[in-house]
Amino acid sequence: MDNEKAHMSEQIQELTLLLMYLTSWQESSTPGLRRKPHKTDDTLLRRCWKGYDFSILERLEEQNLICGEGGKKPIVFTAEGERLAVELMKKYGFGDSKEEEV
């Protein structure tokens, strides 16, 4: 039973990251970020609003998949978070199989 709960929790976290990616956008980086995202090229950032369960957002941030900037600003995907989201699109059958790798 505990194994089922752990698996369900992991799936919810994966699907949350996937939904965040599907509703995200890219924009130029802005000066004054409190924390720089973990990206080699920070000229374009993938952002998403924080309208998700905060405990899941905290876990995703602990895993360095997203970077919360505090306040009402949207979160920023890390390079690893974008890569995993693209993998999850394939795993759950979303998008084109030729989806460009991040």
Is 57 exposed, middle or buried (CB count within 10 Å of its CB: 0-12, 13-18, 19+)? buried
CA distance 1 to 45: 40
Distance CA 86, CA 70 (A): 25
99 inside domain: no
27, 47 contact by CB (below 8 A): yes
- Interval 35-64: pLDDT, tens: 555 544 447 899 999 899 999 999 999 999
Q: Does 40 reside within a domain?
A: yes
Query: Could you tell me what percent of the chain has a pLDDT over 70?
Result: 77
In a domain, 48, yes or no: yes
Q: Is the pLDDT of residue 22 over 60?
A: yes
> Does residue 101 belong to any structural domain of this protein?
no
pLDDT for 75 equals 93
Q: Which domain holds residue 41?
A: 2-91
- In the beta sheet, which residues pair with residue 66? 77
Residues 38, 52: Cα–Cα separation, whole Å: 21
- Give me the amino acid identity at 24: S
In-domain check, residue 97 = no
DSSP state, residue 96: -
pLDDT band at 4 (very low <50, low <70, confident <90, very high): confident
Domain count, the chain: 1
Containing 14, the helix (H) or strand (E) segment is helix 2-22
When pLDDT is cut at 50, 70 and 90, the band that residue 30 belongs to is: low
